[in-house]
Amino acid sequence: MPETMNFEDPSGVGRPIELETFTVDPDLPDAEQRIGKIPVPDPNYVDLGVLYRFAQVEEVRRQNPEGFVPLHLAVRGHMGTGKDHDIEQFAARLGLPYYRIPLTGEVRDVTLIGSTKLHGDGAGGTESRWEDGDITRALRGPSLINLSELNAAGAETLFALHGLLDRYAALDLPNGETVALRDDVRVFGTMNPTDLRDYAGTQTLNKAFADRWVIWEKSFPGLEQVEAMLRVRYPRMEDPFVESIARLGVEVNASFESIDAGTRVETPLSLRSLLDRMPTGLMIHEDAEDPLRRAWEEFVLPHVDIYDRDHYETVWSAVVRKGPSGPVFA
């Protein structure tokens, strides 16, 4: 019997969705490497609704008849909102090998698709052999492909992907081979907003390429969501510290999204800082007079642009002023 995975709607509104997981054919030439690329489910991951929405689209895809044109999902959001982690965890729950392929400006179509290269023939001469690029390699078996930073890719790179992402659903290689989009391959993407913030190299997607995606926005998590993530990850952390970290994150990121250029910060407080850096600082300094302040100074401020530090300190003074007293962990 195939294994199944259940997806619950965090809002409690939608019905549970049950999906069969994928398997990797052991007869594939790269089966061992592919199986090794299946992510391990993160026991501390909290679905804020993104995985459930992914599951809704996946369920529709499986229910539709042959000839249905699959939808490709892209998540757009600021740095530190957890976009790539969401997609990786969807791959983990479906049992799909995960291929994250960054599309930075340095990436060229030959890197993605492949090229013919010269190799020694064992007799003192050379011979030409085709070598798959990153996306071609991923397409040859079950996979979830995350084309990360879609709007940082060059026009040449995007054009090379058009056929794969539309009704043609295949990649034409320069050596004459056509690699079709398999039924057990899923293509996702991520991108940062193009709002003139510090996302060097990003650009607005051209309309033809953007039309090949369903683009969903991902915002910074709210107060209760950050608290829930902290409590799952650190069940022994005392409430005053959970609440203070969450409030700092929400207030800094509200300032980041402000339209007032004179008061807003230019560096968001990422989930990495909220869920990893600050708790690590608290563990190290739990015996200090003000553990939260020490964690703030040593694990948050060094990651902030020097011009933002005054704004960060203003938020600290307004939200916390002095860290909670008492034990950090029960």
Q: Is the model's pLDDT at 118 over the cut of 80?
A: no
Percent of the chain with pLDDT over 70: 94
Mean pLDDT, rounded, for 125-148: 91
Domain assignment present for 115? yes
User: Which region holds residue 63: left if phi is over 0, alpha if psi is between -120 and 50, else beta?
Assistant: alpha
Burial (CB count <10 Å: 0-12, 13-18, 19+), residue 84 = middle
Number of Cβ within 10 Å of residue 128's Cβ equals: 10
Domain assignment present for 22? yes
Domain termination residue (choose one: 193, 217, 241):
217
Query: For residue 291, what pLDDT is reported?
Result: 96
What's the domain range around 295?
Answer: 223-319
Q: What is the pLDDT of residues 245-264, one digit of tens each?
A: 999 999 999 998 887 777 78
Burial 99-108 (b: 16+ CB within 10 A, else e): bbbbbeeebe
Query: For residue 264, what pLDDT is reported?
Result: 81
- For 280, phi then psi, to 5°, come to -65, -45
What is the 3 state secondary structure string of 115-146?
EEEEEECCCCCEEEEEEECHHHHHHCCCEEEE
Residues paired with 188 in a beta bridge = 73, 146
Domain identity same for 239 and 210: no
The C-alpha atoms of residue 79 and residue 84 are separated, in whole angstroms, by: 10
Q: Is the model's pLDDT at 227 over the cut of 60?
A: yes
Q: Which of 210, 181, 219, 206 is nearest to 73 (CA)?
A: 210
- The DSSP-derived string for 208-264 is HHHTTSEEEE-PPP-HHHHHHHHHHH-TTB-HHHHHHHHHHHHHHHHHHT-S-TTT-
For the domain that residue 91 is a member of, what is the CATH number?
3.40.50.300
Domain assignment present for 209? yes
Domain assignment present for 286? yes
Which residues lie below 8 Å from residue 326, measured CB to CB, with a gap of 6+?
Answer: 238, 240
User: Quick one: pLDDT band at residue 301, thresholds 50, 70, 90?
Assistant: very high
Query: For residue 65, what pLDDT is reported?
Result: 67
**What is the DSSP pairing of strand 98-102 with strand 73-76?**
unpaired
Q: Is the model's pLDDT at 1 over the cut of 80?
A: no
Mean pLDDT, rounded, for 50-62: 95
Look up residue 150 and give its DSSP letter.
G
Domain assignment present for 288? yes
Q: Which of 113, 110, 105 is nearest to 203 (CA)?
A: 105
Domain identity same for 147 and 169: yes
Lowest-confidence segment of 25-34, 77-86, 227-236, 243-252 by average pLDDT: 77-86
Per-residue tokens: 53: 């929405």
Domain termination residue (choose one: 163, 187, 217):
217
Mean pLDDT, rounded, for 75-98: 95
**What is the DSSP pairing of strand 185-191 with strand 73-76?**
parallel
Domain identity same for 253 and 315: yes
Q: Is the model's pLDDT at 109 over the cut of 90?
A: no
Q: Is the model's pLDDT at 160 over the cut of 90?
A: no
